[in-house]
Amino acid sequence: MPLDESFYARLIDNLYDGVYFVNTKRVITYWNRACERITGYTREEVIGRSCQDNILNHCTELGDELCKTGCPLSATMTDGGPREANVFLHHKDGHRLPVRVRVSPMEDANGAIIGAVETFIDNLEFFNARHKIRDLEETVTIDPLTRVGNRLLGETRLKTTILEYQATGSPFGVLFIDLDNFKLINDTYGHEMGDRILHMTGNTLRINLRQTDVTARWGGEEFIVILAGTRDREMLQNLAEKLRNLIERSHIPWDETEISVTASIGATLVLPGDSPESMVARADALMYASKTSGKNRVTLG
């Protein structure tokens, strides 16, 4: 017995993967339930809008916005070739979420391309598995607003990581991150928006680091990141730039605009004779060098 279109619609709607369709102008024509679950956007909010209208707004880990350069949907509709990519989509709450996307062309009965279908699945299970913290630490050392480690966790992990370096020579790096113009956000939009920005930044850092890395809120709008196994300046620079770009590309919708923030970062590798205090002081001074050099940048030392 032939199956009607409603059967296929229900089937797609109940898939675990996010599935959405666009026409040749990249206007969204279908949005399944998994899309709602993964992105936070309901179908009423997105159907009839372009996928580049501050909805998913895919970017690479280097911050390149694919809607402007290298959109897989556009490329597939141009040459008919399927594509796959690891990207970071914009969640409705503002943070960046790692996903694996697959794009295929949609054709009419004559074989003409009339749009494209993108499927995506969140990589959170994989990413979260890389940075779980012990259950006991969850109750004692997690900052309740940002959901990253608190200062106690940062100080403790930095101390033990230096002791490990002294015993085994295991290299690592430290980032000192300070959000730019954060007081202006609080003064302009209120402390509730400031808290949302801190929560968004915490999510961006927490989701996009490795299991061996440690993120902690140092105080106010300051964070430190301990990057285990960071061997050289190039690796340190790449990791710091990845986080700086992802923070810059995250935003929160507000009224008819969007609120975003940038970060100034100081980055340093452990040196013989370092203490927790000397490493933080050096990274902090490098962060201030980023501030005085124009903000939204990484300074190594």
Of 253, 258, 267, which is closest to residue 297 (Cα–Cα)? 267
Q: 3-state secondary structure string, 68-93?
A: CCCCHHHHHHHHCCCEEEEEEEECCC
Q: Is 221 one of the catalytic residues?
A: yes
Strands (E), the chain: 18-23, 28-31, 83-90, 96-107, 113-122, 172-179, 214-219, 222-228, 251-254, 257-260, 263-269, 298-300
* Locus of tokens 């940062």: 154
According to DSSP, residue 282 is labeled H
DSSP 8-state secondary structure symbol assigned to residue 15: -
Q: Which residue has the tokens 């920005």?
A: 197
Question: Residues 65, 221, 258, 277: which is the catalytic one?
Answer: 221
What six digits make up the tokens of 17? Answer: 């993967």
**CB 101 within 8 Å of CB 120:** yes
**What residues are labeled active site?**
221
